[in-house]
């Protein structure tokens, strides 16, 4: 898969997962790994970029005597997931054209 396409898909997958509820890095990797290949070393720069873009916010909470960083999707992040859903419908039409069929 094209690296730029995968990068965009990972962004939306992370946001879609956070739409279900707040989460932390290891849990995000665990839940996404069945859908798309992602490692913690790949995930954390994505989370930082999404945070910088205002698509998610972070907070810390104690867990097992240690602080754990959690991620929460913002309204802007929710909007991005909705935009992706609309874009996906367009991509499906393009794919159908490429395959020689109709949508």
pLDDT number for residue 27:
96
| Owning domain of residue 66 | 3-99
Alpha helices by DSSP H, listed for 21-102, are 25-32, 40-52, 75-99
**Per-residue DSSP letter, 54:** T
pTM here? 0.84
Tell me phi and psi for residue 56, to 5 degrees.
Answer: -150, 165
**Number of domains forming the structure of the chain:** 1
Confidence of residue 71 (pLDDT cuts 50, 70, 90): very high
Q: How far apart are CA 40 and CA 38, in angstroms?
A: 7
Is residue 17 within 8 A of residue 50, CB to CB? The reply is no
**What tens digit of pLDDT does each residue of 7-60 get?**
788 999 999 999 999 999 999 999 999 898 889 999 999 999 999 999 999 999
The reported pLDDT for the residue numbered 88 is: 87
- Asked if residues 51 and 72 have their Cβ atoms less than 8 Å apart, the reply is no
Q: Which two tokens stand for residue 14?
A: 């992370």
What letter does residue 55 receive in the DSSP assignment? S
How confident is the model at residue 61, as a pLDDT? 94
CATH number of the domain encompassing residue 69:
1.10.10.10
Q: Which residue is listed with tokens 């965009």?
A: 8
């Amino acid at each position: 898969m094209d690296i730029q396409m995968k990068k965009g898909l990972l962004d939306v997958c992370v946001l879609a997962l956070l739409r279900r509820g707040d989460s932390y890095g290891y849990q995000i990797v665990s839940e996404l790994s069945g859908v798309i290949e992602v490692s913690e070393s790949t995930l954390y720069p994505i989370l930082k970029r999404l945070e910088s873009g205002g698509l998610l916010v972070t907070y810390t909470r104690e867990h097992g005597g240690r602080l754990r960083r959690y991620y929460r999707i913002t309204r802007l992040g929710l909007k991005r997931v909705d935009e992706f859903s609309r874009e996906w419908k367009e991509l499906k039409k393009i794919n159908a054209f490429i395959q020689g069929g109709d949508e």
